């Protein structure tokens, strides 16, 4: 058997990982150490050398994009399609199981998935219907609470109020929300996982079946799994499954949305005899860049320990530029980008990274002015667009009339004279009789509880949806979609939107037809195409922007940069308060996560890295003065090179951090916690002036941010 194509491209550690026997394996894979390659080759090894049938393999990735890429690479290596090999995200796989076993899981066959926006709308509506104060019970907070519980695998009945009235109400809201979802046949992202877990826990026969099927469980980006995903993995693995997981504790940057790095440690505890393979050789960056990354991450206390190395050369020093303000920073970056392009660099190999999206603006303006094509990551995705969600809502109603959120979304879209008053009456009726809005609407019409005009309009809507359903029942999916966007009136509605704004929307709607054409049937779960398409639209929200092939400079947050690499990299806004972000300055765990994010950022760079910061920055409308990020100071100075502005300036460029602080009386420092008689507790953000005129900016927890004159404020240090 020829296995050279599997093993030859691998180094020794990679080869060890790919060829391990049937034992639980944990691959600690540093940035740029070839972890995707290891996963792909592991699958090929199992199939070709160990003779494992593809249906005995389950591979879990972090995103759909990664799943698609992995499947494609596996097929390229194996040389044939891998139909029975399950590859997907935890959510995608859970959805598949729930479709196959909807009945056993207590769901209607036509159940629909809600994205976070749908979920938020639903919670907001619920809070209103309960006449709760939306400030005290902010829908966002409730949503956060519900999702956090689900991520931990907890149902309302598992939660105790601990004698806390607020918590008791939260638990109650969670329970009510869940009831609403169940009644409407709706499943949120967390529910996909939780339901599946419960299904497999309760149904020993199913569990046994899937345990027998999925012998090999491969999980990528394991450091980003949450509690329930890990329980899921353990459950499916059981005693006989062989988990092969790949992760990097230093790249765990999603703690804030439930990811548990500890799962890496737990894994070793829960699967005794775990074989650990470390991939530490980096093929991406210069030694200088790697050393900087290593130096920064070394400041984190809780690590499994790992040191990246390369046999490549030192390369260039890392450039640090201190800008006057954010516009100077952008101008500097754009000038360097022009240099790079002039030197023959491709635009797509250049990226500008920042901590938060709001920072993109200045760079966009500067790039626009310079006429350099760029692409901003993030923002509105295809399936999140209003017109697309409208069209999907019609389709969802066709599939399931009881989908209340979809009903509310399009009952008056396009406008057909059904106002807030009418909807209120329908809603009241639904609540009174405990049915869906759809049924309530029909009831309200027969009861003649509405003015003639509204009643007719409502009747027209019900007829419309029924007609759309009937007329398209036997059409291929994409024709069904085309029919629906046309006959629902959405096309006409958006087409006549003023100032040509509707044109793009109409194009998007037409694009939806194409998307429907491309949907591939899932033979295994023999899901109806419409249901399959609707699920796809929620689970795979689509790229934020089209135009992929124009060669353009990449702008994105440090988070979105994970997994990517660039020849030239700019990390901007390297200021304490921006990066690390303000909200993590007082929290050691938060700070460690920021540091990991910095590590992720630095290790994206292949050849040249710039770190820039602005000494003065306009933020939320007011000027603030910043100190360079502590992360810059964590890089050994010999790896850095200051870049001076082209104009001569009569001041030190790379000011030592916290210069000027000494001038503040009373031992006050930035970041210091203080208490004020009236405003309560807060943190010093900024300071200016000295002596009797010294003022400090304090961010009070209760009263917001204020400038105070030190001499009068009587701040108590904490």
Partner DNA sequence: CATACAGACATAAAC
Partner DNA sequence: TGTCTGTATG
Q: Which is nearer to DNA, 355 or 608 (CB)?
A: 355
Is 221 among the catalytic positions? yes
Compute the distance between CA of residue 474 and CA of residue 529 in angstroms, rounded to an integer.
11
Q: What is the DSSP string of 427-440?
A: HHHHHHHT--HHHH
Compute the distance between CA of residue 238 and CA of residue 588 in angstroms, rounded to an integer.
36
Q: Provide the minimum distance between the beta carbon of 576 and DNA in the complex, in angstroms, as a whole number.
A: 14
Is 196 among the catalytic positions? no
Catalytic: which of 16, 19, 36, 469? 36
Q: Which is nearer to DNA, 62 or 232 (CB)?
A: 62
Q: Which is nearer to DNA, 122 or 290 (CB)?
A: 122
Catalytic: which of 251, 286, 422, 554? 251
Compute the distance between CA of residue 697 and CA of residue 712 in angstroms, rounded to an integer.
13
Nearest Cα neighbor of 110 from 420, 401, 507, 494 is: 401
Q: Which is nearer to DNA, 7 or 544 (CB)?
A: 544
User: Could you tell me what percentage of the chain is helix, strand and coil, using 3-state DSSP and rounding each to the nearest 5?
Assistant: 50, 15, 35
Q: Which two tokens stand for residue 344?
A: 């023959």
Q: Provide the minimum distance between the beta carbon of 314 and DNA in the complex, in angstroms, as a whole number.
A: 32
Q: Which is nearer to DNA, 458 or 640 (CB)?
A: 458
Q: Residue 706: which H helix or E strand, with range?
A: strand 704-709
295 three-state secondary structure: helix
Nearest Cα neighbor of 114 from 301, 383, 448, 368 is: 383
Compute the distance between CA of residue 255 and CA of residue 148 in angstroms, rounded to an integer.
11
Q: Provide the minimum distance between the beta carbon of 23 and DNA in the complex, in angstroms, as a whole number.
A: 29
Q: What is the DSSP string of 189-220?
A: HHHHHHHHHHHHHH-HHHHHHHHHH--EEEES
Nearest Cα neighbor of 326 from 115, 612, 98 is: 612
Q: Which is nearer to DNA, 418 or 512 (CB)?
A: 418
Compute the distance between CA of residue 90 and CA of residue 78 in angstroms, rounded to an integer.
24
Cis before 580? omega within 30: yes
Q: Provide the minimum distance between the beta carbon of 15 and DNA in the complex, in angstroms, as a whole number.
A: 30
Compute the distance between CA of residue 535 and CA of residue 107 in angstroms, rounded to an integer.
15
Q: Which is nearer to DNA, 358 or 692 (CB)?
A: 358
Q: Which is nearer to DNA, 157 or 499 (CB)?
A: 499
Is 141 among the catalytic positions? no
Q: Which is nearer to DNA, 274 or 560 (CB)?
A: 560
Compute the distance between CA of residue 417 and CA of residue 460 in angstroms, rounded to an integer.
10
Q: Which is nearer to DNA, 327 or 348 (CB)?
A: 327
Residue with tokens 């049924």: 439
Query: Are the C-beta atoms of 96 and 113 separated by less than 8 Å?
Result: no
Q: Provide the minimum distance between the beta carbon of 75 and DNA in the complex, in angstroms, as a whole number.
A: 19
Compute the distance between CA of residue 216 and CA of residue 638 in angstroms, rounded to an integer.
47
Residue with tokens 């019900």: 462
Can you give the C-alpha Rg of the chain in angstroms?
28
Q: What is the DSSP string of 1-68?
A: ---HHHHTT--HHHHHHHT--SS-EEEEE-TTS-HHHHHHHHHHHHHHTS---GGGEEEEESSHHHHH
Going by their DSSP bridges, the two strands 242-247 and 25-29 should be labelled as parallel
Q: Which is nearer to DNA, 306 or 562 (CB)?
A: 562
Is 35 among the catalytic positions? yes
Query: Are the C-beta atoms of 246 and 39 separated by less than 8 Å?
Result: yes
Q: What is the DSSP string of 550-585?
A: S--EEEEETTTTTT--EEEEEE---BTBTTTBGGGT
Q: Which is nearer to DNA, 274 or 541 (CB)?
A: 541
Query: Are the C-beta atoms of 388 and 488 separated by less than 8 Å?
Result: no
| Half-sphere exposure (Cβ direction) of 558: Cα atoms closer than 13 Å | 28
Query: What φ, ψ does residue 556 adopt, rounded to 5°?
Result: -165, 165
Q: Provide the minimum distance between the beta carbon of 223 and DNA in the complex, in angstroms, as a whole number.
A: 14
Q: Which is nearer to DNA, 586 or 714 (CB)?
A: 586
Compute the distance between CA of residue 290 and CA of residue 354 in angstroms, rounded to an integer.
20
Show the DSSP H helices in 345-385 as ranges.
Answer: 360-370
Compute the distance between CA of residue 174 and CA of residue 137 in angstroms, rounded to an integer.
12
Q: Provide the minimum distance between the beta carbon of 103 and DNA in the complex, in angstroms, as a whole number.
A: 22
Catalytic: which of 15, 35, 336, 401? 35
**Contact positions vs DNA (CB under 7 A):** 62-65, 89, 91-92, 115-116, 124, 135, 189, 256-257, 355-358, 361, 377-378, 381, 412, 415-419, 498, 539-541, 556-557, 559-560, 581-584, 590, 593, 618, 620-621
Q: Which two tokens stand for residue 22?
A: 């049937």
Strands of 283-377 (E only): list them: 318-325, 350-354, 374-376
Q: Provide the minimum distance between the beta carbon of 126 and DNA in the complex, in angstroms, as a whole number.
A: 13
Q: Provide the minimum distance between the beta carbon of 490 and DNA in the complex, in angstroms, as a whole number.
A: 12
Compute the distance between CA of residue 626 and CA of residue 218 in angstroms, rounded to an integer.
45
Beta bridge partners of 631: none
Catalytic: which of 604, 608, 617, 695? 604
Catalytic: which of 151, 220, 249, 326? 220
Q: Provide the minimum distance between the beta carbon of 129 and DNA in the complex, in angstroms, as a whole number.
A: 14
Going by their DSSP bridges, the two strands 25-29 and 275-279 should be labelled as parallel
Residue 44, CA distances (Å) to 242, 245, 313, 426 in order: 16, 16, 33, 57
Task: Name every residue whose Cβ is closer than 8 Å to that of residue 508 and which is 6 or more positions away in sequence.
Answer: 382, 385, 387, 388
Q: Which two tokens stand for residue 303?
A: 């690590």
Residues annotated as catalytic are 35-36, 220-221, 251, 604
């Amino acid at each position: 058997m020829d296995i050279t194509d599997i093993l030859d491209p691998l180094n020794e550690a990679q080869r060890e990982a790919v060829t391990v026997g049937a034992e639980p394996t944990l691959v600690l894979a540093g940035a740029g150490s070839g972890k995707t390659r290891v996963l792909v080759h592991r699958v090929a090894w199992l199939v070709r050398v160990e003779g494992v049938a593809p249906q005995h393999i389950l591979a879990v990735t972090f995103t759909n994009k990664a799943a698609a890429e992995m499947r494609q690479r596996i097929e390229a290596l194996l040389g044939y399609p891998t139909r029975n090999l399950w590859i997907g995200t935890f959510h995608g796989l859970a959805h598949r199981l729930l479709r196959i076993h909807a009945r056993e899981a207590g769901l209607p066959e036509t159940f629909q998935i809600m994205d976070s926006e749908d979920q938020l709308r639903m919670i907001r509506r619920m809070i209103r219907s309960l006449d709760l104060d939306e400030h005290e019970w902010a829908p966002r907070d409730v949503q956060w609470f519900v999702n956090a519980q689900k991520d931990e695998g907890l149902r309302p009945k598992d939660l105790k109020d601990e004698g806390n009235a607020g918590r008791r109400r939260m638990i109650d809201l969670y329970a009510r929300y869940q009831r609403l979802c169940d009644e409407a046949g709706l499943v949120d992202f967390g529910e996909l996982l939780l339901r599946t877990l419960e299904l497999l826990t309760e149904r020993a026969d199913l569990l046994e079946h899937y345990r027998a099927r999925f012998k090999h469980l491969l999980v990528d980006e394991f450091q980003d799994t949450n509690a329930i995903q890990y329980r899921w993995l353990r459950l499916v693995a059981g005693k006989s499954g062989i988990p092969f997981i790949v992760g990097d504790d230093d790249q765990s940057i999603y703690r804030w949305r439930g990811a548990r790095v500890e799962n890496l440690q737990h894994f070793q505890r829960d699967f005794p005899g775990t074989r650990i393979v470390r991939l530490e050789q980096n093929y991406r960056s210069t030694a200088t860049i790697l050393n900087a990354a290593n130096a920064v991450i070394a400041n984190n206390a809780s690590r499994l320990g790992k040191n990246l190395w390369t046999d490549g050369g030192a390369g260039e020093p890392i450039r640090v530029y201190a800008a006057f303000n954010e516009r100077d920073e952008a101008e500097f970056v754009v000038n360097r980008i022009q240099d790079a392009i002039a030197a023959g660099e491709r635009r797509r190999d250049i990226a500008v990274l920042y901590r938060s999206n709001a920072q993109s603006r200045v760079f966009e303006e500067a790039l626009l002015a310079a006429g350099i094509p760029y692409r901003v990551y993030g923002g509105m995705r295809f399936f999140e667009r209003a017109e697309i969600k409208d069209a999907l809502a019609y389709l969802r109603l066709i599939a399931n009339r009881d989908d209340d959120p979809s009903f509310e979304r399009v009952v008056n879209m396009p406008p057909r004279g059904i106002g807030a008053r009418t909807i209120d009456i329908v809603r009241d009726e639904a609540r009174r009789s405990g049915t869906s809005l759809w049924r309530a609407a029909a009831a309200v019409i027969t009861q003649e509880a509405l003015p003639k005009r509204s009643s007719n309009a409502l009747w027209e809507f019900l007829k419309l949806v029924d007609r759309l359903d009937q007329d398209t029942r036997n059409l291929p999916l994409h024709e069904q979609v085309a029919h629906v966007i046309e006959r629902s009136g959405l096309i006409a509605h958006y087409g006549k939107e003023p100032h040509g704004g509707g044109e793009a929307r109409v194009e998007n709607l037409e694009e939806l037809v194409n998307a429907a054409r491309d949907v591939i049937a899932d033979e295994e779960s023999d899901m109806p195409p419409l249901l399959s398409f609707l699920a796809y639209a929620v689970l795979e929200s689509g790229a934020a922007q089209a135009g992929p092939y124009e060669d353009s400079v990449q702008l994105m947050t440090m988070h979105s940069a994970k997994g990517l690499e660039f020849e030239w990299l700019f990390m901007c806004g390297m200021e304490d308060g921006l990066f690390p972000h303000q909200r993590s300055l007082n929290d050691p765990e938060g700070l460690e996560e920021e540091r990991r994010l910095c590590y992720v950022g630095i290790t994206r760079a292949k050849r040249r890295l710039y770190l820039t910061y602005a000494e003065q920055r306009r933020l939320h409308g007011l000027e603030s003065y910043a100190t360079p990020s502590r992360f810059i100071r964590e890089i050994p100075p010999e790896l850095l090179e200051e870049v001076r502005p082209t104009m001569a300036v009569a001041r030190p460029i790379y000011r030592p951090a916290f210069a000027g602080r000494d001038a503040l009386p009373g031992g006050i420092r930035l970041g210091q916690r203080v208490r004020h008689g009236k405003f309560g507790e807060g943190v010093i953000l900024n300071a200016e002036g000295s002596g009797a005129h010294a003022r400090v900016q304090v961010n009070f927890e209760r009263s917001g941010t204020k400038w105070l004159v030190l001499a009068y404020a009587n701040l108590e240090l904490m």
